[in-house]
Structure 1
Amino acid sequence: MSKLDYEKLGSFYLGKKYDFGKKELTNEYYLYDSKDLTTHGLCVGMTGSGKTGLCLSLIEEAAIDGIPVIAIDPKGDLGNLMLSFPDLKPEDFLPWISQEEADKKGMTLEEYAESTAELWKNGLQSWDEDGERIKLYKDSSDVVIYTPGSKSGISVTALKSFDVPAQLIMENSEALNEKIQTTVSGILSLIGIEADPLQSREHILISNILSYSWSEGKSLTLADLIRLIQQPQFSSIGVFDLESFFPQKDRMALSVKVNSILASPSFSVWLEGESLDIGKFLYTKEGKPKISIFSIAHLSDKERMFFVTMLLNELVAWMRTQQGTSSLRALFYMDEIFGYFPPVSNPPSKQPMLTLLKQARAFGLGVMLAAQNPVDIDYKGLSNIGTWFIGRLQTERDKSRMIEGLRSINSEMDKGGLEDIISGLENRTFLVSNTNGSNAEIFQTRWALNYLRGPITKPQIEILMKDKKSEISKAADSGITENINVSSAVSGSKPVLPQDVKEVFFQPQKYAGSGGKLIYKPFIYGEGKAHYVKAPDIDIWDTGSFLIPVDDEAAVFNENERLKTANYTSEADGNFVFENLPAAVLGKNTFSKLEKAFKQFLYEANPVDLFYSKDFKAYSAPEEDEGTFRGRLSHLMREKKDAEIEKIREKYSSKINTQKEKLRKLGQSIDKEKEDYKQKKMTNIVDIGATVFGAFLGKGKKVNTGRAATALRGLGRTGGAKADVERAEEEYGIQNEKLKEIEAEFQKDVDNIQNNFNADNLLVEKVSLPPRKTDITVQKFFIAWIPYSVNENGEQTRLI
C-alpha cells in the first residue's frame, strides 16, 4: 500500500481499520469523507486516549485539502501544529524536547533529539507517511497562533469596537437580537455579572444601547459604551422612563465597572491587535488557507468565556453572510468544550455554539468539538452532531451516555456489544459512528505529521510567532499631525452659522496630553447612500460617511476621508476653542450648493473597488479583501471540482462495479473448479489405490482390467479439471488487470480535474464600479467640529 491509496481529494486519512475481535490492526485505511464534517463531529475520550492526536491529524488533513481552520485552544496543545519538520533532522526537534524526559531516558538533550527524530521517522514510515507529506502539509496552509490578552503570539482584540453588523444580519431581526444578546452577555460576564437577558436591567440597558446605535449605523468603541451607559441616547425603556427603570446613580456604578476593564494596566493589551475579522482568519491576503489557533490557556475563566463568546458571535455573523453550499467551506474546532456548552446552565457561549451546530451545515461550516466527558455537553447539541469518535472512557456514566446516544441514532445497535467495545478500546483506538455512513467502525489513528511535544507555553509561542510578527505591519497611529500657524487660525469663540446649517461636535477619543491647546477645526461631514449594480451578482447599497476639509474657498472634496465610525454630539466641550470658519462656506445658499456638489462627488469620486474573477465571472463584496475573495473563489473551485469528480465517479461507477461483480463470480467459479479438482483427484487416488491394493490381495488372481482402465480415465479427467482451474485463474487475472486499468483511468481523470482546478492558477483583477446615478441620496450634511491638540511648536494632533 502507498500514499496513492489514501491521498485522495475530499478524503481525510485518519488511520487504519482495527479488528476488535482479533485485537490487531488491519492494512485497510480508514478514510473519512470531508463533506461529512458539515454535519459536525465530536471526539470524546479520557486523558491518554489519543484524542488530541486524532483531532490534530484531522486538522492536518483539512490543511492538505485546502480547507481553512479556526481553532480555540484552551490547553495549549494546538501549537504543536507548527512543529512541522519535513527533513526530520535531530536539530529540528532539539529546541522542543524536554530536559526532564531526556534525564528519564538517561540521555543528553542531543542524544534524546536524535532518538526522537528517529522515532518520528520510523513512526511515519509505519503508517506509509514521510517527510514529503509533512512538506505538503506545511506548504498547503499558513499556521498562526493568536493570543488575546497577551503579546506572546499575534495580539487580537474583541474590545476595540462593537461594529455595526453586516446588512444581512441587520435585516434579520432574529439574527440581530441573537447577536446583541450574546455580545452583551459576554461583556457582562467579563465584569462578573451573570445576567438573564429577559430580567437583568444591566443586560436590557446595554442591549438597547447597541440596538439604538447600530440602527443609526454607528459602531461603538468600549469608551463610547461607557459614556452611553451614563447618558444613553434614549429617555425610556419599554413603558418606563429611563430614571425609573435604571436610575443615574446605578448607571454610573455600572459604567465604573465596565470602565475598570479599560482602566486596568494589565488589560491594556486587550485593546491592541487584530480585530475579529473571520475572513482574515480563514485566508491570507494571497488567498492561502490558514489554520488560525486562538490560544486562551493563559486567560482567567472570565476572560476565556468573554473571548470565546465574542469569537463565536463573529463566526455566526460571518456564517450568515455566506452562500449555501454542500461542500466543506471551513472548519471550526474547539479542543476542550467543558464549561462552554453545558447541558444545564446557560453561559454566554452556549447560544452561539448551538446556533452553529443547528445552522452551519447549510453554509459549509463544519464544527468539530472535543471533550473528555460526554455528560458535559448539551443534549440538543449532541442531536445535531453527525460523527462521533469515541475513545477510552473513564466512568460508567460517560459510557452509558455514549451508548444511549449511539442507539438513538441506530436502534439496531446491540447495547451489550457496544458496552464491550467501548470498555475494551485501547489507546489511539476509536469507535466511529457516522450518520452519513452505514455501520459503526473501529480504527486506530495514524502517526501525526507534526511533533506532538505536549502543551506549548507562552514563551514558546513567542518563539514560534517571532517571524510572523515581523511580517505583520503595525497598524498606523490614527493621530494626524499637521504643522500650521495656529495663532492666526483660531478665534476662540464658536462662529455663528446660518440658521439652516446644522453642526455637530466629535468627541475626543485620545488623550490630549499636558500643556497642549485644545481646538476645534471645522470640517464638513457628509453621509450618503449609493446603489451599485452589476449583473449578475452585484446589487449593493452602500452608506458612506466622509470628513471633508475646508479651505479659504470652500470644501475640498478631493481630500476627503472616509470614516468607519462617527461619534458626535450636539454639545461642544467647554475646554476647546474654535478655529475660524471660511466665509465662503457661510455665504447665502452656499451650503445647499455644497450639498449638491457632495452628491456629485459620491457619483464621480466614490466608486466601489472590487476584485473580479474572469474564471467564475464573480465580484468581491464591498470591503472584502483580496485574500478573503480568493478564499471564496477557492471554495467555489472546490464545489465545482467536487461536482466534476462526482460526475466522473458516476461515469466509472457502473464499469467498476460490473468488473468487480465479474471478478466475484470468477472467484466463485475458481473456488468451485478447485473443489471439483480436489474431489476428482482424491477419488482417482482412492480408485487407483484400491486397484493396486486388490492386486496384492488377489493372491495370483488377475487384476480387474476394467476397473484399472476406469481409474486411469479418471486420472485423465483430473488433469482436465486442473486445466479448468488454470484457465479460470488466468481469466481472473485478465479481468483483474482490466479492473486496474479502469481504476487507473478513473484516477487519471480525477488527477486532471485536480490540475485543472488549481487555486494557484486563479486570476484576480481589481475593478472600480461607479454607483447608479439615479440611486444616490445625501442623508446627512453639516459642519463637523473635530477636536485637536496643539503643542507649543504649533504641531497639531487630531484626537479622534
Structure 2
Amino acid sequence: MESFRKNAKISIYTPGSLKGRPVSILSCLKPPDAQEDLWSAASSVANSLFPLAGMSGEKLQSEARLLTELFVHAWKNRIEVLPEDLPRMFLDPPFDAIGGVDVELLVPKKRRQEIAITLSTVFNSPNFKRWINGTPLDFDHLLEEANASIFYLAHLDSNERMMFIALLLRTLHSWMLRKGGSDKLKLLLVFDEVYGYLPPYPRDPPSKAPLLSLIKQGRSFGISVFLSTQNPFDIDYRALGNARLWVIGRLQTANDRRRALEGIVEAGISIGERKELNREISSLKPREFIVYNARNDVMRKMHTRQSFSSLRGPLSLDQIAEISGFQPITGKISGDQSLLDIPPSLPERVESCYLPAVYDSAILRGFNVVGNISLYYEPFLLLEVKARLEKPANGEIKFLRLMPASSMQRDLVFSEKMEPGIRSEQLKDCPLGEKPSLGFKFRPINRALRTRAGIKRVLDGLRNNVAEINVRVYKCEETGECSFPGEDLISFKERQQMKLMERQKKEIEELNRKLMKISIALSKEVGELRELERRLEELKTSIFVGNLIKLMKGSVKQTFRGVGGSYKKIKEIERRISLKKQRIAQIELEKANLEELIRRARAPPTILELTLRPKEVHVSSVMLVWVPVAEARALVGNRMVLVKANCFNGVVSTFQ
C-alpha cells in the first residue's frame, strides 16, 4: 500500500462542487458508440435526471418512457441534446406516438408542462450549473490524468448522488464495450457502500441496470467490480450470484447472513458447507473475516492486525481541494437568467405559434461581438379586429395589429410593424408552426398578460384604438360606389373604369353606329360638294372661252345674249353649293357632338376622397407569435451597441 501510495497518481474529483475538482456530465448526454446499447443508455440517462429534480423515477414510468424516447429520437437523428433543450422537448415532443400509444394519452399535456417546469427550474439553478463545468466524465480522459480516480460524493444529497453514480456507471459500461474484450485486468471499480444502488426486485433505481451489466460482463472485458456493504440483504441476488471473491465480516442480522450464504451457494458451495459456514460467520469476532474464492473453491479465515484510527469522518471540500492541490473554480456562471427554457402558459383563448428559425447565431458573424450571443424567442400578440364603416361606405373592414408581449406599458402600444423587422401583414402569410426551433430560449411574457384580466385590458384598449382611426375611403361620382376597406386608389379607379365601361358599352356602341352613319353621310355630302364645285368651275371656264371666241369674231350681240342664261346656271350651282356647305357644317357639328359623347363615356371616373370612422368594432382573433431573435453586444467603431437579428427573415437592427 505504501508503494502504491508513492507511485500512483491519484485524482480526487468533487462532482457538483466548484470548490474541488468538478466533473462535467455533458458528455453523458452524447449517444453511445454501440447502437444496440442506444435504448438502455437513453433509459439510464432519463431515469438519472428525475431523481436530480426531486422526483421518484419508479413512480414516473410513463414520464421516464417519454424522456427515454426523446433521447433515442435525438441520438438517432444526430441531434445534440443539451440540458436546456430537454424541458421544451418534453413539453412538445417531436413525435406523436410511442409504441402505438398517443403521447397525449401516455403523458397528458398538463402533466408534461408540470414536469417541464420542474426540469427547467433544476437545470437553471446555480447548483446544476456546477454539473456542467470541470473535467468531462470520459474514462479515456480520466485514465490519462491519473491511474487512480476517486469520486468524492459526501457533499451531495441522495438524489444528486443517485444521478451521478448512474451516469458514471453508464459511461463506464459504454467505454467498456468500446474497448473490447480482454483477459487482463484493465480497470478496477471500487464501490464503497452499495446500499440503495443495487436493491433486489422490484426496486429499480437508475444505478441498478448499468451496475448489474458491469458485474455480469465486466470480467470478459478486463473490468473488475469490488463492492462493499454492511447490508447484503439489500443486494440483488443476481449481483451476489456473480460474485467470485467474498470477504465476509461480522453480520449482525440473520437476514444479512442468509443473503450472504445464498450468494455463496450460487457461487458453488455445497449445502453441507453452508451450515458450517453459517456457524463460522455467526461466531466471527471483531477484525475477523472469512475469505472465499469461488474460482478455486478455497475458503479461509483472516485476522487483521490491531490498528488505531481516529475515524474523523468525511473530509470537507476545502480539505479535499487542499489535499489534491487543485485550485477551486471561482467566478459567476455566465448565462441570461431572465430567459426561460420552456414557453410560459397563457389563458386558454390565446393560441400560440412560432416562426421557424432560418438563421442561427452565424447571422451576427459580421459584427465585432463582445460576450455571448443569446438565442431566444421574442413574444408578440398578433390581433385581428373586424369593424364596419359609417355610411356611405357599407362593408366590413379588418385591421391587423402587433403588440409586444414581453413588456406591457401603461399606455398600450399597437402597431402594424415592430422591431425586430416584423410586419403584421407579413405574419398573416408566414409559415407559422406549432413547435419552436431547438437551441432557442424564451423571453418571459409580461405577468399581466397571463391573466384573463390582462387580456381583457388589451382587447378593450385595442377596440378603443381602432374606433379612433380615420379610415380613408374613395367614392366614384359616376357609379356612387365606395372603395373596399384597405383598397388603394389605383385599384379602385381600375375597378370603377371597368364597371363604367360595362355599363356604357351599349350606349357607346349606339353612338359609334350613329357616328359611322354621319361619317358616311358627311363623306357623301363632301363628295357632292366637290362635284358641284367642279361643275361650277367648268361652267365658268366654258362661258369665258365661248364669249372670248364670239368677241374675237365680232359678234357682240350674240355674246351679251348668251350671258344671261349662263349667269342663271352659275347662280343655281352656287346656291346648291351653299346648301351643301350648310349641310356639311351641320353634319360635322353632329359628328363632333357624338365624338364628345363617346369621349365622355370613355373618360376615367371622377373619384372623391372621404374620411370615415369604424363602428361595431370587435376583436376576432388573438394569437401569440414567437419571433426567433439573435442578440449580442457588439463594438461598432468606438461605440458599444446592442444588435438584434430576426432569425426568420434576416433583418438586423442596432440600438444604442
Q: If the length of structure 2 is used for normalisation, what is the TM-score?
A: 0.50
Choose which of 226, 232, 244 in structure 1 pairs with 2:87.
226
Task: Look up the SS of the partner of 1:150 in the other structure.
Answer: coil
Kept after mapping to 2: 8 A contact 1:789/1:796: yes
1:333 Cα deviation after fit: 1.0
Counterparts of 1:50-61 in structure 2, within 5 Å, are 60=1
Secondary structure, aligned partner of 1:361: helix
Q: In structure 2, what residue type is equivalent to 1:300?
A: D
1:188 Cα offset (Å): 1.4
Q: Distance in 1 between matches of 2:442 and 2:120?
A: 23
* CA displacement, residues 311-337 of structure 1 (integer Å, 9 cap, x when unaligned): 111111111111211111101111101
1:221 shift after superposition: 1.1
> What amino acid is the match of 1:790?
A
* Other-structure match for 1:327: 184
TM-score by length of 1: 0.42
Instruction: State the match for 1:308 in structure 2.
Output: 165
SS of the equivalent of 1:270 reads: coil
CA RMSD of aligned residues (A): 4.1
Match of 2:240 in 1: 382
Supply the distance in 1 between the matched residues of 2:218 and 2:106 (Cα, whole angstroms).
38
Mapped partners of 1:431, 1:387: distance in 2: 10
User: Are the aligned partners of 1:403 and 1:415 in contact in 2 as well (CA < 8 Å)?
Assistant: yes
Q: Structure 1 residues 246, 401: CA separation in 2 closer, same or farther (over 3 Å shift)?
A: closer
User: Counterparts of 1:291 and 1:475 in 2: how far apart (Å)?
Assistant: 31
CA–CA separation in structure 1 for the residues paired with 2:230 and 2:643: 54
Which residue of the partner structure matches residue 410 of structure 1? 269
Partner of 1:347: 205
Q: CA deviation at 1:503?
A: 4.9
Please tell me whether residue 458 in structure 1 is matched to residue 317 in structure 2: yes
8 Å CA contact retained: 1:182, 1:313: yes
**Which of 143-152 and 307-316 deviates more?**
143-152
Q: Percent identity?
A: 30
**Alpha-carbon shift at residue 795 of structure 1 (Å):** 7.8
CA shift, 1:413, in A, is 5.1
C-alpha distance after superposition, 1:86-117 (max 9, x if no partner): xxxxxxxxxxxxxxxxxxxxxxxxxxxxxxxx
Q: 1:790 aligns with which of 634, 638, 643?
A: 634
Bigger drift between 230-239 and 329-338 goes to 230-239
Give the secondary-structure state (helix, strand or coil) at the position aligned to 1:328: strand
Distance 1:386 1:449, change over 3 A: farther
1:48-127 superposed matches below 5 A: 60=1
Change (3 A) 1:244 1:233: same
After superposition, the C-alpha distances for 1:448-501 in whole angstroms (9 at most, x for unaligned) are: 999975432333223213x2337x99999999xxxxxxxxxxxxxxxxxxxxxx
Measure how far apart 1:230 and its partner are. Answer: 2.5
Deviation of 1:255 (Å): 0.9
How far apart are the structure 1 equivalents of 2:137 and 2:184?
Answer: 25
Structure 1 residues 358-402: Cα deviation after superposition (integer angstroms, max 9, x where no partner): 111111010000001211111111011100001112122222333
Aligned pairs for 1:559-574 (under 5 A) are 569=437
Aligned 8 A contact 1:276 1:311 in 2: yes
1:505 counterpart letter in structure 2: D
Q: CA 1:326 to 1:474, structure 2 compared with 1: closer, same or farther past 3 Å?
A: farther
Superposed displacement of residue 226, structure 1: 1.8
Check conservation: 1:506, 1:569, Cα contact below 8 A: no
Residues 449/148 of structure 1: CA separation in 2 closer, same or farther (3 Å cut): farther
Q: Provide the rounded CA distance (Å) in 2 between the counterparts of 1:311 and 1:571.
A: 26
Question: Tell me, which stretches of 5 or more residues in structure 1 are unaligned?
Answer: 1-59, 61-133, 480-501, 509-514, 521-567, 576-783
User: Counterparts of 1:389 and 1:196 in 2: how far apart (Å)?
Assistant: 32
1:439 aligned to which of 298, 306, 322: 298
1:155 is aligned to 2:10: no
The 3-state SS of whatever aligns with 1:180 is helix
Structure 1 counterpart of 2:228: 370
User: In the alignment, does 2:130 pair up with 1:269?
Assistant: yes
Q: In the superposition, relative to structure 1, how do residues 573 and 155 fare at CA in structure 2: closer, same or farther (>3 Å)?
A: closer
SS in 2 for 1:468: coil
2: CA distance, partners of 1:450 / 1:798 = 63
Counting only pairs closer than 5 Å after superposition, residues 171-250 of structure 1 correspond to structure 2 as 172=36, 175-195=37-57, 200-250=61-111
Secondary structure at 1:455 match in 2: coil
Q: Deviations over 1:122-141 (max 9, x none)?
A: xxxxxxxxxxxx2x323432
Q: What is the distance in 2 between the residues matched to 1:248 and 1:507?
A: 34
Aligned 8 A contact 2:321 2:327 in 1 = no
Total equivalences in the alignment: 372
Tell me if structure 2 keeps the 8 A contact 1:407–1:413.
no
Is 1:356 the counterpart of 2:214 in the alignment? yes
The equivalent of 1:281 in structure 2 is: 142
Q: 1:474 to 1:367 in 2, by over 3 A?
A: farther
1:164 aligns with 2:25: no
Q: CA deviation at 1:791?
A: 5.8
Higher relative contact order at CA 8 Å, sep ≥6: structure 1 or structure 2? Answer: 1
Assess, with a 3 A threshold, how the Cα gap between structure 1 residues 143 and 452 changes in structure 2: closer, same or farther.
Answer: farther
Instruction: Say if 1:517 and 1:361 are closer, same or farther in 2 by CA, change over 3 A.
Output: closer
Q: For the Cα contact (< 8 Å) 1:163–1:218, is it kept in 2?
A: no
- Which residue of the partner structure matches residue 11 of structure 2? 144
Q: CA deviation at 1:251?
A: 2.2
2:195 to 302, 313, 338: 338
Alpha carbons of structure 1 residues 381 and 506: separation in structure 2 relative to 1, 3 Å: farther
Matched, 1:258 2:119: yes
- Which residue pairs with 1:428 in the alignment? 287
SS in 1 for 2:225: strand
What amino acid is the match of 2:249? G
CA contact (8 A) 2:181 2:220 kept: yes
Cα deviation for residue 517 of structure 1 reads: 12
For residues 571 and 312 of structure 1, what CA distance do their matches in structure 2 show?
A: 29
For residues 330 and 798 of structure 1, what CA distance do their matches in structure 2 show? 52
Partners of 1:222 and 1:468 lie apart in 2 by 27
Q: What is the rounded CA distance, in whole Å, between the counterparts of 2:49 and 2:159 in structure 1?
A: 10
Unaligned runs of 5+ in 2: 337-356, 364-369, 376-435, 444-627, 646-656
Q: 1:262 to 1:363 in 2, by over 3 A?
A: same
Cα separation, partners in 2 of 1:165 and 1:419, compared to 1, 3 Å: same
Q: Per-residue displacement from partner, 1:191-230 (whole Å, max 9, x unpaired)?
A: 2333459x83311221121111111112211001122222
CA shift, 1:785, in A, is 10
Is the 2:28–2:167 contact (alpha carbons within 8 Å) kept by the matching residues of 1? no
Letter in 1 for 2:17: S
Q: Distance in 1 between matches of 2:439 and 2:228?
A: 53
Distance 1:414 1:222, change over 3 A: same
Tell me if structure 1 keeps the 8 A contact 2:373–2:630.
no
Deviation digits for residues 624-662 of structure 1 (CA, Å, limit 9, x no counterpart): xxxxxxxxxxxxxxxxxxxxxxxxxxxxxxxxxxxxxxx
TM superposition shift of 1:798: 12
Give the match's secondary structure for 2:286. Answer: coil
How far 1:164 sits from its partner (Å)?
2.7
Letter in 2 for 1:279: D
Give 1 or 2 for the bigger CA radius of gyration. Answer: 2
CA deviation vs aligned residue, 1:503-556 (integer Å, no higher than 9, x gap) = 543599xxxxxx999799xxxxxxxxxxxxxxxxxxxxxxxxxxxxxxxxxxxx
**Letter of the structure 2 residue corresponding to residue 338 of structure 1:** Y
